[in-house]
Each structure stands twice: as C-alpha cells, then as structure tokens.
Structure 1
C-alpha cells in the first residue's frame, strides 16, 4: 500500500475509492484545456488532410504510380496517427487513464507498429527515388506498381511481427509497468532499447542518408548536364523535361525525408539518453513532436504537388462523383 497516496485529498486522486489510485495530473485546468483543444484540432486536421491524400491517389487512375502508392501507404499510417495515437496520447497526459490496462497495451503496440511502419515506408521512398534518378532506364521495370504494393505489404507485416516481439511483455501481461490505477506507462529495458535503436533507428536512417546522398550527387550532375545543353532537338527536350520531373519529385520527397528525420531523431535521442520510461511531461512533447510529422506530410504535398491541389479541389467541390472523372488528367 502506498502511504503517500493515502495522504492525498480524495479530490487529488484519479479513483478516490481505491488505495492504489494515481494522483491526477498536476497541470492547471486552463492550460490542460487549451493544450487539449489545440492538439485535438491538429489531430482533426491531420485526419482530414490524409483522407484527402488517400482519396486522391486511390480515385484518380493517373495517380496510380509507384511513387504515389508509397505516398498513399504513408498517408494511411499518418491517418492512423491522427485518428488514434494523437487523441490517446493527449488523453494519457492531460487526465487520468480510464480505459484500463488492455487498451493501454494496445495503444503502445499501435504506437510502435504505426510509427515504425512509417519509417519503413520512408526507406522505400528513398529506394524509389534512388532507382528513378540513378538508374532511370530500368526504373519502369524495377519499380512497378505490383512490386511496390508487395513491398508495402511486406513492410507492414514485418513491423507487425517485430513490434509483437519487442512489446511481448505488455501484450502478455497488460499494465505490468503501471505503478497505480489511472496510469499508462511503458518501461523499456536496456537490451531491448539498444536492439530497437539499431533496428528501428540506426539502420533505416543510415540507408535513407546514403541513398539520398547518392541521389543528390546524381541530381546535381544531371542538372549541370541539362544546363550545358544549349541546343536540343524535340526528343532531347522531352527527355530533359522527364529528367526535370524526376528531379522535382526527388526534391519534394527529399524535403519529406528531412522533415521526417527532424521529427524522428529527437524521439530516439531522448529515450536513448533518458531513463527509458515513457511517462513524464518532456516525453509527452517529444512524442507529440514525432506524431506532428503526420500533420506536416500532407502540407508538403499541398505545397509542392500540383496534382494534389487539383485533386483536393475536385474532391471538395464533389466533382469526383461525375461520370468517368477518375480518368481526369492532372498536371504533374
């Protein structure tokens, strides 16, 4: 029995009728309300924007390309972040956890699975751009829609298996790390933390950096070559236009990768130097910053992809319900 908890006034406890109850969060109610409103608005916008991405790529046949299939898969994981992970993380840190130990374990499992899958998809995006820029002649045969879909499915299944092993303790025994009722925490032991650091952070980030460094070098050389070609026949002009399109896509997806790493690195750096306890307020802001990446991704599409802006206009104005509008041609 925790005598310190018994000394608290009942109004300060999550469950006053239980001796093992946790204390209520100490954040002032006005700050808690403001923080909750702001973060829930971000969550709703994240859901709405990623639904628009999913509808756009799924509905319009012109957008059924390997690169866009990867963006579609990333949008699905971002949608789940905004729909499930953000609200539960907000609730977990601004009020007492009332959903029970089982839902707590499910939350941590989904959090690990969805965010890890996003990392895998970013790796696939880097591979896609690497092949498109560094080996453009073989790109149509190597990066087909079928192969990309298969790669995405394997990515999801791999991380389902990996996270099941990584978090097997809380899946077998939900709530094993909770010290009192009304709490939802995750404790990561040192060995599991090091393994996860290597598998989910060092390896994929290294692959992403190496591939994009290669893409950057080749893109710069191609840009210089195009600028040096003053005279060009029609065929050469069309090839240059294709190269410019690929370079533009590489630049946009490069921004996507940089933003992802900017959100991803603090998350792992914090838990690497911290005590591996996912419970305090500083951990909350690191996790929210990581989830915030799901809000930024569709913003990047809106800024740099004309097809996404045009598709959103068609969706909002309900023109997609017109006959044969799935064959609408976009300027990409």
Structure 2
C-alpha cells in the first residue's frame, strides 16, 4: 500500500472528533461532560452527531472516552466484549446492578477486559482530563447498549428519551418520539435478576492486567494479553498483545485479519513495503490484513503499545458466572 493509502488508516490524537451527546446520560448531572470518540467501526453511540473516523469493518470496534475529573459513565451492559486501557489519568471502574458489587482502580497502561453481560460504569478519579481507549467486540458492537433502569429514568428527567430503536430524542431541542415509536422499555425484575454480579475477587485476577506486569512479561517477546492462551484468557473475536522496546522486532510480518496499533508510551515507527509512519500515544493505526509490517520504537526512552488483531472467534457472550 502507498503512504497515502495508509495515512487514511491513521487517526491522530489531535484530530479526534468528540461527541458530547453520544448517550442517554448526556444531560444527567455528573455525566454531562463526557466526550465519546468512535475511531474504527460504527461504535455504540445513540446519537447521529457521532463522527466515525474509519468505517472499514475490522471484526471489532475501537473507541475512546474522554472525561474531566469526577465525570462518570452510567451503568450499562454490552452483549459483546468491552476492553479498556487507560491512556491518561486515573479511573475507577465499578459494576453490579447499582454499581456496588465490585470495583477496581486503573492507572495509565492498565487494561481491563470487563466481563460481558454485567452492568458496568466508570469515572475519572484523577485531577486532570483523562482518556481511556476501548476495544468493542463485533462489527456492530453487539447491537448497542442496555442501560440500567435508573439511568433511563434519570435521563428522562433531564430531557433525553431513548426510543425502542436505540435513537435519542432531546426535548430541550423540541424533539419528541415519532408517532408509533415507543420509548426503550426498562429491564424487568426477572431480567435484572438474571444479570450476574461478580465480586472484585471474581473479576480482578482474571480480567485486569497491570501495565508494569505486562512490561515484565514483554521482556523478550510480545506479551499475550487477551486470547485463548493469554494472561487474560478469552476469545471475544479479537486478540490483544503488548509490545515494548525489549520485544519489538524489525522483521516485517502480517496477520490474516486486520490489526490496530495503539501506543501507550513512546513514539513508534511502522514500516511496510512502500512507506512508513510514526505513531505517538493516543494515535490509532489500522493495518490491513495480509500486509507485512514492522513496528519499532523511533526514539529513546520508555515505549509500549497495545495491538488488537481480529480472529475467527464469534464476538458473543464470553462471561461464565
């Protein structure tokens, strides 16, 4: 591929276009300063205002959330995988019907493969604007978001109504549900009881990997982070590995499925037949299937990146309570 072709598959951090009306809690106090980014794929936004940077199907989605201190993302459920790693800031992730079944605090570089099919939320508990990068399973990201009933009720009190088709209507802009379209139904008590509520002890050892542990594991070869034989054993339709200066190699190789490179620290040079590019933390690069490439640090100092690669595994429910 030519440098021009590949440049269209790179999204620079400084070029990210946020959406502040992406979800039903966009007006709810405490959640009304969120910025949502859809980088690769359609994402799960409920707003037509959401900008998609790269629409090429990968078998998974890449997104991001940016939030100021004390800003919270409300409790919701996904039908497929939702993986986050911290790019900037300090974040608390919590889960359960009311968000009190368990929690974990993540620092820059830490990664969390949140169990599929449980209520989850997160908040920036740092002192500055924070950013987390997300990998969502499937090209359609599991068909959207399922909200906890109290989130839908709170949103209605602040002017936002979610239709049964998953589209937001804002009464502050004079919008109403079209004739014949009903609001999104609340989960029933029976449905709520069927949603698992694992404890912190259930989740953290099997679904969280710390940055410094991965740096140690990647001292000779890339550390397998998510996969059938990885540190976090799962098959969500993609695999994730972690590359450092010590495990980077300048010998080109490729994948049978699309890959995405996401630097955490340092600057990285990506070289392929016909071109090269340099990536910085916060940049995202899509590598097409069957393209041989090499990725190595381009400067001195600490350097690490996450790489997600599609697989043939279905992007379905993987959590086993």
Q: TM-score range by the shorter chain?
A: under 0.3
User: Normalising by the residue count of structure 2, what TM-score does the alignment of the two structures yield?
Assistant: 0.23
Higher Cα Rg, which structure: 1
User: Normalising by the residue count of structure 1, what TM-score does the alignment of the two structures yield?
Assistant: 0.22
Q: Which has the higher contact order (CA 8 A, sep 6+)?
A: 1
Give the structure with the higher percent strand. Answer: 2
Give the structure with the higher percent helix. Answer: 1
